[in-house]
Amino acid sequence: MNIQMVGLFAGLLTTAAWIPQLARTWRGGSTEDLSWPYLLVFATGVSTWIFYGVLTGDPPVLIANVVSIMLIASLVELKRRAHFRALSDARAGIAGKPTHLAHGCDDAMTRQLEHDSATQEAIIDDARNPT
């Protein structure tokens, strides 16, 4: 067995471990469980591994860590966007409001949304309980 294949396989597994976190953060839109210090320290460590890979000419180390730093950068960007969105919402006074109110729907639009929601619930109830 080629030792570089072992390194590539290990790099694939440790790098792929980031994909579920990135997907969860993307889908859920929440980055609260990712701390800035954690991301900074981890990114610094991965960057150091990249430097080590360059110095030693070790392709598995380079490949795995370059991909890892790109995934970490994606998480940092998602966290940055969420941070600035929260600041913007707080300044606008819309933090914690329902989405349709937070984005400028007036009372008539709110009543229409509530009516549409009640209509959908009635249709679902009728479908579940045919007479």
Query: Could you read off the pLDDT of 49-84 as tens digits, one per residue?
Result: 999 999 999 998 999 999 999 988 988 888 888 878
Which range marks the domain in which residue 102 is found? Answer: 97-131
Q: Are 22 and 75 in contact (CB under 8 A)?
A: yes
Q: Read off the pLDDT band of 48 (50, 70, 90).
A: very high
State mean pLDDT over 29-48. Answer: 86
Q: What dihedral do alpha carbons 109, 112, 117, 123 form, nearest 10°?
A: -160
Give percent of the chain above pLDDT 90.
18
The structural domain count of the chain equals: 2
- d(CA 11, CA 9) in angstroms, rounded, equals 5
State mean pLDDT over 5-26. Answer: 84
Residues 23 and 36 in one domain: yes
Residues 126 and 90 in one domain: no
Among the listed residues 2, 21, 3, 32, the one whose alpha carbon sits nearest the alpha carbon of residue 68? 21
Give percent of the chain above pLDDT 70.
71
Query: Looking at residue 100, what is its pLDDT?
Result: 47
What's the helix, strand, coil split of the chain in %, to 5? 80, 0, 20
Q: Are 106 and 61 in contact (CB under 8 A)?
A: no
